[in-house]
Amino acid sequence: MTITSIRQQLLSGETNPTKLIESISEQIIERDSQVQAYVSYNLEKALADAQEADISKPLGGIPIAIKDNINVLGEVCSCGSKFLVKGYISPYDATVIKKLKTAGAIPFGRMNMDEFAMGSATENSAIQLTRNPHDHDRIAGGSSGGSAAAVADHTALAALGSDTGGSIRQPASHCGVVGLKPTYGRVSRYGLVAFASSLDQVGPITRSVDDAAHILQAIAGHDPRDTTSLNEPVPDYLAEINQGVKGLKIGIPAEYFTEGIHAGVRKNVEKCISKLENQGAEIIPISLPHTSYVVATYYVIAPAEASSNLSRFDGIRYGNAAPNPSDIIDLYYQSRENGFGPEVKRRIILGTYVLSSGYYDAYYSRAQKVRQLITRDFQQAFQLVDAIISPVCPTPARKIGACSDDPLQDYLSDIFTIAANLSGFPAISIPCGTTSYDGSDNLPVGIQILAPRLGESILLRIAKAAESEIAAKDFSS
């Protein structure tokens, strides 16, 4: 069921918010022990909210699962880390949560994630390992793996995730659902625990493009509490979503269709492009010449910002303090040593290094200059085309543990998604069929669509046109 179909049942009286919450709770009990998407959920609170739900509102009575780095008043916000899992209760609602509640939605469930959103598999969670619903021996993707897995496993109608380098789109692709990263600043970051402040963005993970539009409509808009929030009017995202692609120009970057892409991924993406062309879109080859620098640039800028943001986790202001320290320095040392996992430590150390005296200009400053070149590539491309299409990931979901000894391979899996964060442009992943990979059949493949700044309307319009053409049986390879 989608938000759209459930809304019809709510308005007709066929169901009600209480039955909906109870039904989802039953699904969680029956199914989630295998997938482990949920960190926790408060059924009693959700049922109380359901009793008060106003179904006349746009999302009235609809439960939405929440990634565990978004603050919800009175709930644990663990960020997938030992540092917060036992001792931190959110003292306020994030702006996106307030907006969801204003639209009538019911936040229900805390979703597993890579620790502090650092990872591409949800293997870095200190709480549990989330598995792909399509194959429990494979990753769900990350860092919003719990959000995507729950939606794919039918234990959530929809979810919120956060995207710093592909953390909504990549797990959406691996799990066969829709994941939307809005324009940077389109959705408030107030109440989102920061990883890399110039890259982070909250967005929806859903079962359909229409559902993504519904949630984006609710959470978008200016927020004075977020200094990076854009003070721009929010359009009606559903107004043009069914207008099709006839006459639109869609760019295909040569650098995103090179060696290293799994044959089944490439075949499915190219089939989808062909179907859009048959609908009347003009397909135009383009170039994004600085693509080869994207991963290196990101892994200088993101760790640098993480090093700064995570300095607040010292065992005093936030998080679990180490017992019996010998002095204040020992408290800092032990709290951070025991609280952070290996990947978070790796990125803090890297970020501190590139910001240190003598290395700032060589690494961080240079990376910011390359970031501008990457952004310029997209700006120039969008003068020629209305949108850009690419794969989301080079391969389908890999097996759990395949990159345990080689983090770089995990980093490279985000090569097609990172640029949207560096440039701030909106992007969406939608399912475009299935393929065989590494001994498994019918693994989901995602196609990525990127649009200019504040171009979510055209992004959703193209995504809806692609979605209407896609059936798994037509795209298996």
Which entry of 78, 81, 143, 162 is annotated as an active-site residue? 143
Write the CA distances from 136 to 313, 381, 398, 400, integer angstroms.
34, 40, 11, 9
Asked if residues 475 and 266 have their Cβ atoms less than 8 Å apart, the reply is no
Is 19 designated active site? Answer: no
Burial class (CB in 10 A: 0-12, 13-18, 19+), 71: buried
* Among 106, 182, 174, 103, residue whose Cα is nearest residue 141: 174
Helix (H, G, I), strand (E, B) or coil at 112: coil
Q: Which residue in 25, 67, 229, 307 is the catalytic one?
A: 67
Distance CA 333, CA 205 (A): 37
| SS3 label, residue 379 | helix
Task: Specify whether 249 is catalytic.
Answer: no
DSSP code per residue over 9-73: HHHHTSS-HHHHHHHHHHHHHHHHHHH--EEE--HHHHHHHHHH--TTSTTTT-EEEEETTB--T
Looking at 254-400, which runs of residues are DSSP E strands? 282-286, 387-391
10 Å CB burial of residue 441 (0-12, 13-18, 19+) is exposed
> Token pair of 172, please?
């959406």
Catalytic residue chosen out of the listed positions 167, 188, 390, 413: 167
Which residues, at least 6 apart from 290, have a Cβ–Cβ distance to it below 8 Å?
370, 373, 374, 377
Determine how many CB atoms are found less than 10 A away from the CB of residue 45.
Answer: 16
* 143 part of the active site: yes
Distance CA 397, CA 422 (A): 24
For residues 462 and 465, what is the distance between their CA atoms, to the nearest angstrom? 5
Q: Would you state the structure tokens that stand for residue 130, as one six-digit string?
A: 């989330």
Could you give the CA distance from residue 410 to residue 165 in angstroms, rounded to a whole number? 12
Report H helices in 225-262. Answer: none
Q: Which residues are catalytic?
A: 67, 143, 167
